Amino acid sequence: MQNTLYIYNSLTRKKELFVPLHPPFAGLYVCGPTVYSDTHLGHARPAITFDLLFRYLTHLGYKVRYVRNITDVGHLENDADEGEDKIQKKARLEHLEPMEVVQKYMNNFHKNMEKLNTLAPSIEPRATGHIIEQQEFIKSILKNGYAYEVNGSVYFDISKYSEKYPYGKLSGRVLEDLKGNLRELEGQEEKRNPFDFALWKKASPEHLMQWPSPWGNGFPGWHIECSVMSTKYLGETFDIHGGGMDLRFPHHECEIAQSTAALGKESVKYWIHNNMITINGQKMARSLGNFITLDQLFSGNHSTLKQAYDPMTIRFFILQAHYRSTIDFSNEALQSAEKGLRKLMQAANTLKKINPETSSTVDITSLKTKCYEAMDDDLNSPVLLSHLFEGVKIINSVNDGLEKINNEDLELLKNIFQIFVFDVLGLKDQTDTDIDEELTENLISIIINLRQDAKNRKEWEISDKIREDLKKTGIVLKDKKDGVEWERE
Ligand code: ZN
């Protein structure tokens, strides 16, 4: 197994050689979405970043267990300990059951993840499915003296924790700064210190999602689910924890504190964070009118969009930037990504048709080495793409008769494209599916016309057989007054 992958660890703030705790196994936990609205552009970046990591680790031969959670309770409106539960609020506004809200937006998330060609995680645990485990975890924190109960709620005691462990090591925030920055929020008076955070919240009688607990009826805080589900499925210590940079504080900082307080040790070896997306230089926000969902992006149905963009264009565009750089969406940038992707896919198709010569004038071996070096350097996808475009240049030159390639080099070049374009970057030729659709349409209309000819000759047996045989393949014909329509069963 190749082991020259360096990844940037947000905890130590440097690139480190990836050495898993239990090779050949690699554990990867990524914070997934809170499912209360349609999947938006902001979800696409972590999904693609960690899909790239998952794909590359798998390619290197690791047996990766990739766990990505679904937050379906406990994430309150202001991302802190006050305000309405985001899912409950949506349920109230849409007159749905909270679990209907969860199902609806989880389905939307899965549909869009599939369009972006991200591989499904190995396990996708939900917070509401792990209430008992969360209570057990909170009990351990209480037992170890790092939490306290007030009036049916349980809070994490940061002052107590800071006596023994460094709180703020991931985000670089110092407790003194935190004290100064906090606004006086309603309901904070229960806490011993305003920067303490909720592990369990007492539920008011009208609160829709609540469970019995040793502290009375309530619901878990937002951060505890990730400490619980990551260690449940990956072990008390595991390799990689990922998420968006916006989650470093408070979410991941709180996760570190919870796991350390409950288990007496840190759980995560490498913390990896992807940077944020801006739109025309602005942060994406509902209030700024530039909030774009993936459905809108794929259909072009949004005032800031000049056209629809293929999911693969979005994927390519995101991979064109290194995951730790910010990335700015604009129509111009997406249109140029669309062109770039087309050029890459055209070359991949040309490659299939090239015939080898007896000698080579091109150097393919060093190209493969450079591709691996780019990925080993903290998943440097933009540099990898620049090497793949060197490959595109070679393919086009060979195709134009300007260069020669022998069989060995040709196979190597095909291998490079298979590994890096398709397996690792997870790109695919969007036009393939479009062409298949068009071909199906055309073939079925030819068959319908043949059947009509048979009917005109009163050859009922043949016309019935055509209909029956089509039905067996899942195509249903409907005889209408003005012709025949068809649909998939
Ligand atoms: Zn999380």
The residues, ordered by sequence, that sit 6+ positions from 458 with a Cβ below 8 Å of its Cβ are none
Q: Which residues pair with 25 in a beta bridge?
A: 22, 63
Residue 373: count of CB within 10 angstroms of its CB:
14
Q: How far is the CA of 124 from the centre of ligand 1 (A)?
A: 12
Give Cβ neighbours of residue 401 (< 8 Å, ≥ 6 apart): none
Q: At what angle do helices 224-234 and 131-143 cross, to 10 degrees?
A: 100
Write out pLDDT tens, residues 96-141.
999 999 999 999 999 999 999 999 999 999 999 999 999 999 999 9
What is d(CA 266, CA 41) in angstroms, rounded to the nearest whole number? 32
What pLDDT score does 371 carry? 98
* pLDDT score, position 76: 84
Q: Which residues of the chain have pLDDT under 50?
A: none
Q: How far is the CA of 222 from the centre of ligand 1 (A)?
A: 8
Q: Tell how far the Cα of 435 is from the centroid of ligand 1, in angstroms.
A: 40
What's the CA gap between 410 and 306, in Å, rounded? 40
Residue 259 CA to ligand 1 center (angstroms) comes to 12
Q: Rounded distance, CA 82 to CA 19, Å?
A: 40
- Calculate how far, in angstroms, residue 44's C-alpha sits from the geometric centre of ligand 1: 16
What is the whole-number distance in angstroms between the Cα of residue 192 and the centre of ligand 1?
25
Per-residue pLDDT at 277: 92
Residue among 325, 321, 361, 360 nearest 337 (CA): 321
Pairing of strands 14-17, 6-9: antiparallel
On the CB side of 345, how many CA atoms lie within 13 Å of its CA?
17
- 213 CA to centre of ligand 1 in angstroms: 22
Give the pLDDT confidence score for residue 6 in this predicted structure.
98
Spell out the residues 6+ positions from residue 377 whose beta carbon is closer than 8 angstroms to its own: 6, 15, 383
pTM: 0.88
pLDDT attached to residue 344: 98
Q: What is the 8-class DSSP label of residue 22?
A: B
Angle at 196 between CA 193 and CA 201, to 5 degrees: 115
Using the mean position of ligand 1's atoms as its centre, give its distance from the Cα of residue 457 in Å.
68
Locate tokens 């209907």: which residue?
100
**What's the CA-to-centroid distance between 79 and ligand 1, angstroms?**
12
| Spacing, Cα 268 to ligand 1 middle (Å) | 13
CA of 251 to the centre of ligand 1 (A): 6
Angle at 43 between CA 39 and CA 48, to 5 degrees: 125
Which domains does the chain possess? 6-148+156-182+222-274 (3.40.50.620), 279-424 (1.10.730), 431-488 (no CATH)
**Which residues face 480 on adjacent strands?**
483
Task: Identify the residue whose tokens are 């995680």.
Answer: 121
Query: Ligand 1 mean position to 198 CA, how many Å?
Result: 15
| Separation CA 210–CA 82 (nearest Å) | 16
